[in-house]
Amino acid sequence: MSINRRPINGRDTNPIGLGCMSLSWAYGGRPSEEDGIRLLQHAVDIGYDHFDTARLYGLGHNETQVGTALKGRRNKVFLASKMGIFASGDKRGIDCHPDTIRSELEVSLKLLQVDHIDLYYMHRRDFSVPIEDSVGAMADLVKEGKIGAIGLSEMSADTLRRAAAVHPIAAMQTEYSLWTRQAEIAVLDACRELGTTFVAFSPVGRGVLAGGVDDPAALEEKDIRRAMPRFMGDNWPKNHALIQRFNAIAAREGVTPAQLSLGWVLSRGDHIVAIPGTGKIAHLEENIARWDWEIPATLAAEVDALINQQTVAGHRYAGVMLPTIDTEDFA
């Protein structure tokens, strides 16, 4: 059996899109410029038609690289970017004031070398600005033809409903995988109710559900996972044991761990798409190779029972990050 392509703002896309972040930031060293552009162009060649980037990723590097890679290919890709998070050294902040939204969009358009972005997100909730004001500013950009649709990232069901009362929200992007389930509290249902596509980032659990992490101590010094509770202390041995059992199930079923992870995510609703990221062409090809595979219900239930909010040890973020997240959380 197979699954169908899925719409974002009325445009049918492959349910496996490409998160571009790791080409520029977060997981240690990044590929060379040439290799990054080659990966992005190869992605289009093999069927990726949804690219997700952001101003934050490499502080403009990622948008610049995506823009270069899409020259002559722009019409083949549903292009999404985000604004709102600022970073300078160890300092981070969030700014979704209307004037900032407009000025940040102009920078993104320039770096991406386009005059229109299909989907533009608020990367995080700015609690100093009413969500209605931020969405109103983005709605003006839709009217002007500079963006095609509005997205939100890591926000709650209540915030989504408030935003949707001002303007339709095309997408909600939130971390979601077998080992990160906060979206199941309320956001997945709210998205279905409002006709909002749910975009799952980190659908292979920061790489652990893709066979990508065996020993966190071996990760590069600047890899953000080194500071995440699930990769630290007593939590990691417990989580690693779950991962080893998960990998064995994937081998038994004749799929890779990443393909099993993605199959489970897509089985959670026909309004869900996933955007795994990678800096390696082999993983790029692996992630999309079984895009139309419909995971059997019994297999989905088996891995769901193995890895879930109750069995995983540690929170997904360290305490310093939690105040920036608007998504509902478990007690």
Task: Go through the domains of the chain in sequence order and give each one's CATH number.
Answer: 11-207+259-293 (3.20.20.100)
* Cα 161 to chain centroid, rounded: 21
- The rounded distance, in Å, linking the Cα atoms of 259 and 270 is 17
User: How confident is the model over 119-123, as a mean pLDDT?
Assistant: 98
User: How confident is the model over 202-221, as a mean pLDDT?
Assistant: 93
User: How confident is the model over 70-93, as a mean pLDDT?
Assistant: 91
Beta-bridge partner residues of 64: none
- The rounded distance, in Å, linking the Cα atoms of 212 and 278 is 10
- 121 given a catalytic annotation: no
Site of tokens 């703002």: 9
Contact 162, 308 (CB under 8 A): no
pLDDT at 67 over 60: yes
Q: Which of 27, 48, 57, 176 is catalytic?
A: 57
Cα three-residue angle 27-28-29, rounded to 5 degrees: 125
Contact 295, 264 (CB under 8 A): yes
pLDDT at 1 over 70: no
- The rounded distance, in Å, linking the Cα atoms of 9 and 7 is 6
The pLDDT value recorded for residue 89 is: 67
Residue among 178, 154, 323, 146 nearest 260 (CA)? 178
Query: For residue 2, what pLDDT band results from cuts at 50, 70 and 90?
Result: low
The pLDDT value recorded for residue 88 is: 72
The one-character DSSP state at 230 is G
Query: For residue 221, what pLDDT band results from cuts at 50, 70 and 90?
Result: confident
